[in-house]
Amino acid sequence: MTAPRTQPRRTAIIGSGNIGTDLMHKLRRSALLDVAVMVGIDPASDGLARASALDVAVTAAGVDGLVERSDFDDIDVIFDATSAAAHRMNYARLEPTGRLVIDLTPAALGPFVVPAVNLAGLAGERNLNMVTCGGQATIPIVGALSATAHVHYAEIVASISSRSAGPGTRASIDEFTNTTARAIETVGGADRGKAIIVLNPADPPMIMRDTVSALISATDESVITGAVVARVAEVAQYVPGYRLRQQVMISSVPQQDPRRRLVGDVGQDADLAQVTVFLEVEGAGDYLPAYAGNLDIMTAAAVRVAEAAQ
C-alpha cells in the first residue's frame, strides 16, 4: 500500500504568457501542488517578472534551462503552456526524464483528458493533453449526452474575447479545430464531431460563451436535461464560473429534415432529437479579467488533473 503524500508535489510551468501566468496563481492556492519554477524564453516577459516577485524561481532559457537546473529531480509535474509547435519540441526533451507533463496546447501528443469525463481512466500516462478551452467547456456536455443516448453528431462553437487570445492561442487555431473535433469523438463519445472558434473583438470584451448542438437518438427529455445539469454542476466544482446560460433545448428532428444528412444513412429513419446547450464561463480574474474564461477553464482543469495524478 502506498503511503499518503505528506508534501505538495513540486511543479514547473513552461510558458510565461497569459495561460502560464494564470496557472501560476492557481497553483499557489492549491494545497496539493507547489509551483517551483516558471520557464520562459523572453527575459523581459511579464510572467517571469510576476513569478520572480512571488519568489518563484525563473529561467528564460526555455526547456533546456529547466532540465539543466540542479533541483530538476525534485520536480514532479510539468505544465506546458506554450503552443502546439513548441510542445512537440519541449516534449522531445522531457520524455526521457519520465516526468508527468500536462499539455495545455492543442498538440495532442498524449491522450486527451477532460477531468469530468475521463480522468479516472488515465492513471500512469506521462503526457496528458488538455484538449482546448472549447473542448474543456463542451466535451463534458457531449459526454453527459453520450451517457444517456446515442450521439450521432455533435458540433461546438466556442466564442471568446479576442483580448484573451494570446500569441500561443492564435498560432494554434488550426490545431484547435482539429483537436477539439477529435476529442468530441474520442472523449465525448459522438460518432462525428465538429468544432468552431470565434475570436470576438467586441468592446467591452465578451465573456466566454459556448454552444453545444447534438443530434441524438430520441430518449426521455427529463433524463437528458438531468444529465446535462448534473454535469454542469460537476465541472463547476473546479471551474466556479462555469454555468448554463439558459435551459436545455430539445426538439425532435422531422423526417426529410436537412439535419439528418449530418448523421448519414443511420439517421434517415431513426427517431432523432436535437439538443442545444448554451454555456458561459466566467474567469476567476487571477491574471486577466473575468471575461477570459477560456484561460480560466484550461488552467483550472489542468490543476484538477495534477492534483489527482498518481
294 is in an annotated binding site: yes
> Look-up: residue for cell 472549447?
134
State how beta strands 127-129 and 151-161 pair: unpaired
3-state secondary structure of 41: coil
18 is in an annotated binding site: yes
| Residue type at 230 in one-letter notation | A
Q: Which of 94, 109, 113, 133 is catalytic?
A: 133
State yes or no: is 136 an active-site residue. no
Alpha carbon separation from 204 to 15, 28, 95, 162 (Å, rounded): 27, 30, 43, 11
Per-residue DSSP letter, 110: S
State how beta strands 151-161 and 192-200 pair: parallel
User: Which distant-in-sequence residues (6+ apart) come within 8 Å of 67 by Cβ?
Assistant: 93, 94, 97
Which residues define the annotated binding site?
16-19, 294
Point out the residues that are catalytic. Answer: 133
Known binding residues for NAD(+) are 16-19, 294
